[in-house]
Structures are given as structure tokens and as C-alpha cells.
Amino acid sequence: MINIDSSHIARCAQLAMLLEVSATPKPGNIDRDHNYTDTRFEHFLASAVGVYPVLEKAARSKSGVGALIREAVEESGQWQKGGNTHFGAFILLIPLVMAAGRCEDRTCLRTQIQKVVRETTVEDAVEFYRAFSAAKVKVKPVDDLSLGDAASFDKIKRQGLTLFNLMEISSSYDMIAEEWTNGFQKTFECAASIQNKIKKHGINDAVVLTFMELLSNYKDTFIQTKFDDKKAEEVSMRSKKILQKGDTDEIKDEIYAFDEQLLKEGINPGSTADIIIAGLFVSLLEGMRF
């Protein structure tokens, strides 16, 4: 049974964001021991704190995914000056939090999350485009629709594209969009992996190992967008090779070295981190404690 109190759900989402950014070493990404120049660990803490009321509102909402994603970006941004922190995470968390507000068990969550995303409207698509501008993210715009562009808003409305439709268009090349269209498959896979590992490895290493597994199995969208497909493939292959070398203690040094290399090259697997947050949220919602 899942506790569907809206504050409980919002806190699970908040803690998921904090545990993800704290887990170290998470190759290439910001964590408790690694910062980028302008965006730092503390900016992620402040963002997770700031977004709370939007998460609680989402847990009580039956519709409005797009507006809630935009509000999450805006509210969290008011609490820190480090730029974009959790935009990708909110694209997954907001519908998950809304689905959780309707559910009392995991089977239900799997059904409801599909309903929430399929019920999105044209207005959700327009609001989502507004969220992009608010987040100032460097991403590939969907199809030939430019971000924050009045013509794109018109086109979305004229073609009657819902937010789910936009995700369908992007799903072939964007792992976050693909979550929307495939029933959050990687999210649930990630949740199962973390819960399997937590007893033996503790929360930090359960997250790190699951991150490495995801990275080895799926090319990271953020790397594909910032660099190219080849670079994302290389990163996945390197993760796979490290994981094949043995048990956690044996490969820890290799993970540290991998981390240093990716940080040096500015290669941050941001989309994989977003899925970790979604997976941690599902795990905490299901009662995982440590």
C-alpha cells in the first residue's frame, strides 16, 4: 500500500532529488563532491527545497501537467542562481506525482501514469514550451517547432498537438520523452534495481551502481544532444566494461577515474540522472527507507 497523502508524495519526490544529487561518484554529473563552474551541489539542494509546494499541488491535481512543469521550473529557479537544475527531472516527476495522488499500490501507479500522460492537452503542450524558456535549457526543439516562438505556439494549436503527441514525436531520440510513451519502463526498472541493491550496498552505492547500469544499457540523450550519438555510445560502452570487471569494491577506483574523465570533457549524462530521480521517487513511495 502506498501513502497517498499529498505532502507524503511531495516529500518522496523531494528526497529523491536530494539522494540523486548526493550520490557520488556519479560519472560526469554534479554530486556532493563535484561541481560545475556556475552550477553547484547547493543549487540542486535549493531547487529541491523550493519546488515543494508545486509537487504537493501536483499530487492533488487531476490535470495541468504542462503548467505544473512550468511552475516547478519557475518556483525552483527562485531559490537558487545556478541556472537549470531539475528541468528534465520535473518532466518525469510531475506526471509521476500526479499518478501517485490517484493510487494506492504499484500496479495502479503503472496504469495511472499512462493515463496521466495520455490525457494531456494542447494547452499542456503550450505550457511545456513556456517551461523550456523559463528553464533556459539547451535542448533539441521538437521537430521544427522552435522554443518560445509565437509561430510554434500557433502551429501546436493549429495541428492540435497535445504534450503526449510532442513526446511521441521526440521519443525516437529522447529517453525522457520515451518514458512518457513506453509506460515509464526505465523508471520502474531503475526503482527495482535500487531496491535490490540497497541492503547490500547502502543508499549511496545502490544509486551509483544503478546509474552505471542505466548508462551502460541506454545512450544518454543529454550527451547525444550536447555532443553526438557516437559520444553517447562510447560512454555506454565504457560503463559496461567497468561493470563487467567485478564487484563494487573492485570497480570503485575505475568509476572514480571514469568520473574524472567525463567531468574534464564536460560530458554529463543528465538524462540518466533524471531517470534515477524518477526511480528513487517510486522506491521511496513504495516505502524504501535506510
What are the residues binding its own copies (CB under 8 A)? 7, 11, 14-15, 18-19, 22, 32-33, 41-43, 45-46, 49-50, 52-53, 79-81, 203-204, 289-290
Shortest distance in whole angstroms from residue 24 CB to its own copies: 9
List Cβ neighbours of 125 (8 Å cut-off, separation of 6 or more). 66, 156, 161, 162, 163, 165, 166
Residue 85, number of CB atoms within 10 A of its CB: 27
Instruction: Find the shortest distance in angstroms from Cβ 19 to its own copies.
Output: 7
- Could you tell me the smallest distance in angstroms from the CB atom of residue 272 to its own copies? 20
Cβ atoms within 10 Å of 264's Cβ, excluding its own:
9
Of 177 and 280, which has the nearer Cβ to its own copies? 280
Q: Closest approach of Cβ 77 to its own copies, in Å?
A: 11
- Residue 184 contacts residue 274 (beta carbons within 8 Å): no
**Nearest to its own copies of 31, 179 (CB atom):** 31
Give the largest Cα separation in the chain, rounded.
57
**CA–CA distance, 125 with 285 (Å, rounded to integer):** 28
- Name the residue nearer to its own copies (CB basis): 51 or 176: 51
HSE-CB for 53 with a 13 A CA cutoff: 7
Which of 99, 198 has the CB closer to its own copies? 198
Nearest CB to its own copies, comparing residues 43 and 130: 43
Q: How far is the CB of 46 from its own copies (least distance, A)?
A: 6
Backbone angles phi, psi at 34, to 5 degrees: -135, 125
Q: Is residue 186 within 8 Å of residue 176, measured between CB atoms?
A: no
